[in-house]
Amino acid sequence: MTEEKKAVVSTKSGKLEGVYEDGLHKFRGIPYAEPPVGKLRWLPPQPVKPWDGIRPAKKYGAMAPQIAAAAPRDFPGAPDFGDVPQSEDCLYLNIWTPGLDDGKRPVFFWIHGGGFTIGSGSETFLDKGVLAQRGDIVMVSINYRLGAAGFLNLKEITGGAIPSTGNEGILDQAAALAWVQDNIARFGGNPDNITIAGFSAGGMSVGTLLALPAAKGRFCKAVNRSGAANMVGTPAEALAIAQEFLGIFGLKGNDIDGIRNLSTEKLLDGQTGVGELMRQRGKNPLVFQPIVDGVILPHKPMDAIRQGYARQVTVMAGTSRDELKSSSAGDPSLKNLDDDGLVKRLSASLPDTIIPGLIAAYRKSLTDAGKPAAAADIFSCIDTDALFRIPTLRLIEAQQQHGARAFNYLFTYPSPAMGGILGAMHGLDNPFLFGALDREFTGNGEKQQKLAETIQDSCAAFMHTGNPSCRSAGEWPEYGNTRKTMVFDTDTRIEEDVFGEEREAWDKYTL
């Protein structure tokens, strides 16, 4: 419900008029950089030009061009970005604030997920701003360039004629962060108390920003949700992707005009084509990702973090127990998977030396818990931990080594959808964090509401003080040597070394 209440703010770029809804001032579609179109395509984000008069900020800005998610829109937990158009002119952010005053509230800077190819800061679970109101914080969400527009390195293959490093999407995030630091005080926020946070590729972006010189000093806390600091590419991999991408259109690196003249639709076609080629070859389907180019991103994020680059940042990081169960449930190739097939699939991405130990550990853990332990179940669990949980624990451990405070959680509440077969799937915890429960996907009874409030309160406490302990969650100790972990479920509790037998099986695995 919209109430009659003036919401006009003067920023360094110009005046903005938002709306007052749900007890919050909301500003949507704020440009934080010039539109990256025409000659600015594949360049770092450029400062937004000031405007005259009062600019309306009542509707979301266009989201980055993308192909719809593979899951049908009515599938439980399928992404929903609202009725928002797509355009390469997509560098916008949104703000929810309880007050346009000098309240110096903590700032929550949210980076959406989507495998660096889909997503938007207009995710519908954000819209009401429940977390901002309950936590008395200023909440920000952003768009950034995706896919070939944001993560395609053309510098090498074109001899520098097109200077994109493959990090333009990450630089967009840093530019949005800089805009927020410069202007958020005018929205009741504290520029010296910014928490960057993200889910999935957004969490991986947070891990990258921890090691990005362009973002250093612009935030003091980080929340990695189902994404750590492990998804980056090398220059050699980036060059190979660029060759494949251009080859789809019959282009060479010296055909500069042909490359620049590719339409938005062609960029999306190229993304799809390269992704399919990688899948056919059994390679990482996450084709578009940040690149360790030695300049924009000087080192692998985990290497930089291990060296203490982010020692000043307090971290809260965690995952869901069954991240990939929803994708496994829809994968027909897993239906008849036997142990030989399990070993073969794991060998595509993991060292052969650790695979027998992993299979034995996960089979025992699942069996002891009274859960199905067929080859497909074991594969789903190992795949989840390889991509999400183990990198998250390594990030926490690396921060601790340099004296930084680090907190871990594991979300284990299962979705009631589809008879419960999805478990605590990827993204199920987001509606709990942002107060957007429903009957089918999350359940919306008293227990679920209590869990949502506990997750919101602990996150807000972390933003305010750097410690997620709060009345609803109780004392939340640092991860420490005993690996204390907050287990979020209808019986939320602290446990030490959760699923330790599984974790130990990864000890010889180096990220």
Q: Which amino acid is at 250?
A: G
pLDDT band at 76 (very low <50, low <70, confident <90, very high): confident
Confidence at 78, pLDDT banded by 50, 70, 90: confident
374 and 253, same structural domain? no
Query: pLDDT tens for residues 350-408?
Result: 999 999 999 999 999 999 999 999 999 999 999 999 999 999 999 999 999 999 999 99
**pLDDT tops 80 at residue 337:** yes
> What are the pLDDT digits (tens) for 249-265?
999 999 999 999 999 99
Asked whether residue 209 is domain-assigned, the answer is no
* 19-54 pLDDT tens trace: 999 999 999 999 999 999 999 999 999 999 999 999
Residues 40 and 179 in one domain: yes
Domain shared by 279 and 334, yes or no = no
Question: What's the whole-model pTM score?
Answer: 0.97
Q: Tell whether 250 and 148 lie within a shared domain.
A: yes
Residue 224 in any domain: the answer is no
Q: Confidence band (pLDDT; 50, 70, 90) for 4?
A: low
Q: Best-predicted range by mean pLDDT among 35-39, 275-279, 322-326?
A: 35-39
pLDDT band at 116; cut points 50, 70, 90: very high
Percent of the chain surpassing pLDDT 70 = 98
Catalytic residues: 200, 323, 426
Whether 214 is in a domain gets the answer: no
Q: Is residue 97 part of a domain?
A: yes
Same domain (yes/no): 270, 380: no
355, 444 Cβ separation under 8 angstroms: no
In a domain, 354, yes or no: yes
Q: Which of 199, 193, 188, 191 is nearest to 226 (CA)?
A: 199
| Residues 6+ positions from 441 with CB-CB distance below 8 Å | 76, 77, 415, 416, 417, 428, 431
Given a cut of 60, whether residue 286 has pLDDT beyond it is: yes
Lowest mean pLDDT among 100-114, 191-205, 270-284, 469-483: 270-284
Q: Do residue 176 and residue 259 come from a single domain?
A: yes
| Shared domain check, 262 and 382 | no
Total domains present in the chain: 2
Q: Does residue 283 sit in the same domain as residue 345?
A: no
Judgement on whether residues 251 and 385 belong to the same structural domain of the protein: no
In a domain, 3, yes or no: no
In a shared domain, residues 240 and 372: no
**Which residue range is the domain that position 341 belongs to?**
315-504
Q: Are residues 271 and 375 in the same domain?
A: no
- Confidence (pLDDT) at 1: 44
**Residue 69: HSE in the Cβ half-sphere, 13 Å Cα cutoff:** 19
The percentage of residues in the chain with a pLDDT greater than 90, rounded to a whole number, is 90
CA distance 66 to 146: 8
Q: Give mean pLDDT, residues 158-162.
A: 97
Q: Order across the sheet with 8-10: list the strands.
A: 8-10, 15-17, 54-56
Q: Are residues 263 and 407 in the same domain?
A: no
**Separation of alpha carbons 506 and 459, rounded Å:** 29
Residue 224 belongs to what H/E stretch?
strand 221-225
- CATH number for 55: 3.40.50.1820
Would you say residue 205 lies in a domain?
no
Residue 366 CB-half CA count within 13 A: 20
